[in-house]
Chains A and B, each alone.
Chain A
Amino acid sequence: MKEVYLFSADKLFRKYYARLCHFAWQLLGDEVMAEDVVQDAFAAFLERRHMVADKDAAIKSYLYTSIRNACHNVGRDAKIEERYFRLNPQVVEEESTVINKMIRSEVMNEVYMVITAMPQGCQRIFRLGYLEGWSNAKIAEKLQVSINTVKTQKQRGLKLLKGRISPELLGVFLLCFIKFGLA
């Protein structure tokens, strides 16, 4: 019997992969392991998908939970805190800490989505203009576009960010352009 689902596997993957990796990364402190854990968990989810309610919230919480547990096991496998667990076999990571990490992954994923939704050109101009303090003319020269283009892109970028990141925080997150603003 073949089940029919609301979301395709590939859509779910694209939607959740980044935030789940971020969450696993917070728990494990290791990027490679984090991605491995998420890939395993996602593959396992696909195999037992018929057991999970076909609702966004249910799937999300299933994935987060299985990754939390898998990270916990990896931690044990890697003998991280081995002594600790041997001495306190009943102790598990504080529930609230894990939940707050999950909240952070959700929020940061949202912020990242906002920033990457800005077109490349926009991002570049933002970075040079607001972070490096370049003049419009210098930016225009560097990127080989007209000064008018620089101005419009700045306007456009501000418009795009409006209502998605507040002005006070814009500066904080603009800093983030440093690494990926310029390819």
Chain B
Amino acid sequence: MSTNPYHIADLISKYLSGTLTVQEEEVLEQWVAANGENRAAFEAIQSDTQARLDMDFFARLDMEQAWEKISRRPVKEAGTGRALRHLGIAAAAVIFLAAVGVGWWWYGTTPKTDTPEVATANVTGNDVMPGSQQGILKLSDGRTIDLSTGANAVKERDGTTITTTGGELTYINRQQPDETAPTQLLYNELRVPKAGMYNLTLSDGTSVWLNAMSELRFPTRFGNTERKVFLKGEAYFEVAPDASRPFKVEANGTVVEVLGTHFNINSYNAVTTTVVEGSVKVIHAEKSELLKPGQQARVTGDIVVEPADMRKAIAWKNGDFYFRSDGIVDIMQQLARWYDLSVVYVGDVPYHKGYNGNISRDVNLSEVLDILGFATRATFKIEERKVTVQF
């Protein structure tokens, strides 16, 4: 018996028009008889008062106006990496995927292999190595430095020394205690591409971990009233205490203000701030909320404070993927950022299903996909950096 809702809807439409075949009638009858809820739904469709409200609703919709609104929005070209980053608010859709179906749990400790071709039960094609420490630094005069090419030391115009060593960027300035703060701040920009992450120590001693496809804009040295930086994407902050200069992070219109604390900000979709230590203030559109450790705030027009899954929020910084009730699209999106992939789906994709599990971010793509295939029953084909997910 078919329980495909579209098929049932089709049968009910045919029933209303009196064009059901005998076999179809049987299928529909079985569906109606299956439980009280189905029967009630079936009867409600034929209730005139209900139907009238429905028809009124349809009649009130202004499709032209709605389409105009949507087509005015900037749409990123499909297939480019940037499209992933600016998913827009409704991509929050996938953040909460109900119905945890199959669970999977695995912790990768297997050493890396360099086999270019893989063929397991679930995965075929070439393998892809995990992401690595990489980033591009843009100095205040516009010069750029590729941080994946070994150690380096540069001097900024204000005398700040910038050193890079194996995945770490450090800002040092020997500011004298009596020296007046700079009147004009010099900004640098750290950009981490797909398949990258990078660790940065700001001039005040604050540590920042930047995730793949993220950008941080910050002054080489801070002024004396505040310490403000600008974030796109995701970063984890360990802010050095300084009661006289609050530390502020601005991400997509939301400002997070702290004195000294540890917290994560994810702004790939709705800006989500998770507090690990201390407390932070989240400010958005003249509203603000104070967060305590173990809480997170999601900004979707309003600021929503809720209990956080701490392990999930900072798993990336500790080198793990950590999924809880995440849908396949959300999971693939995370993998795409770290392995630099484009993803194509084929077949009947179970968008509503959620999966659990954790995996080290150090392993090759094939290992992650093999386990994921086991849990989701999907198979994966890798061609260069394109992954086809087949259900």
Query: Residues of A at under 8 Å CB distance from B?
Result: 1-3, 9-10, 13-14, 17-18, 21-22, 25, 31, 35, 37-53, 57-58, 60-62, 65-70, 72-73, 76-78, 89, 92-93, 95-97, 99-100, 102-104, 106-112, 114-115, 163-167, 169, 171-173, 175-176, 178-180
Contact = CB atoms under 8 A, between A and B. Distances in A.
Interface string B34-64: 0101100100111110011011111111010
A61 B347 CA distance: 12
A113 B109 CA distance: 57
A132 to B, nearest CB: 15
| Chain A interface SS verdict (over half) | helix
Interface string B170-197: 0000000000000000000000000000
B71 to A, nearest CB: 7
A173 B95 contact: no
A13 B71 CA distance: 10
B77 interface: yes
Interface in B336-360: 342-349, 351-352
A52 B174 CA distance: 53
Contact of A70 (B18, B92, B98, B329): B92
Given A99-B5, A172-B46, 17 more contacts: A1-B79, A13-B63, A13-B70, A48-B91, A50-B78, A53-B347, A61-B6, A72-B96, A103-B5, A103-B12, A104-B45, A104-B54, A106-B10, A111-B54, A112-B54, A166-B16, A166-B18
B17 interface: yes
Contact of A103 (B41, B57, B59, B76): B41
Interface in B286-339: 298, 300-302, 304, 306-307, 329, 332
A153 B16 CA distance: 23
A89 B65 CA distance: 38
B336 to A, nearest CB: 9
Given A48-B87, A53-B346, A106-B9, A61 B18 contact: no
Nearest to B98: A92
Contacts of A115: 55
B94 A69 contact: yes
B70 A39 contact: yes
Given A42-B70, A95-B99, A107 B93 contact: no
Interface residues of B, number: 79
B90 interface: yes
Contacts of A39: 66, 69-70
Interface of B: 5-6, 8-10, 12-13, 15-19, 35, 37-38, 41, 44-48, 51-52, 54-61, 63, 66-67, 69-71, 73, 75-80, 83-84, 86-99, 298, 300-302, 304, 306-307, 329, 332, 342-349, 351-352
Contact of A66 (B90, B98, B99, B304): B90
Given A10-B67, A106-B9, A176-B55, A43 B343 contact: no
A181 B304 CA distance: 43
B98 A180 contact: no
Contacts of A60: 6
A62 to B, nearest CB: 6
A39 B62 CA distance: 12
A180 to B, nearest CB: 4
Given A69-B98, A100-B37, A179-B55, A44 B66 contact: no
A2 B12 CA distance: 39
Nearest to B78: A50
Nearest to B354: A92
A37 B70 CA distance: 12
A44 B329 contact: no
B67 A61 contact: no
A107 B18 contact: no
Nearest to B299: A77
A52 B346 CA distance: 8
Contacts of B298: 77
A43 B38 contact: no
A21 B94 contact: no
A32 to B, nearest CB: 11
A41 B93 contact: yes
Contacts of A110: 9, 13, 16
B163 to A, nearest CB: 38
Contacts of A102: 5, 9
Given A53-B345, A77-B300, A48 B55 contact: no
Given A60-B6, A95-B98, A106-B9, A2 B77 contact: yes
B61 A46 contact: no
A111 B93 contact: no
B8 A164 contact: no
Contact of A96 (B37, B56, B69): B37
A38 B70 CA distance: 10
B51 A172 contact: yes
A24 to B, nearest CB: 11
Contact of B88 (A22, A47, A176): A47
Contacts of B16: 107, 110-111, 165-166, 169
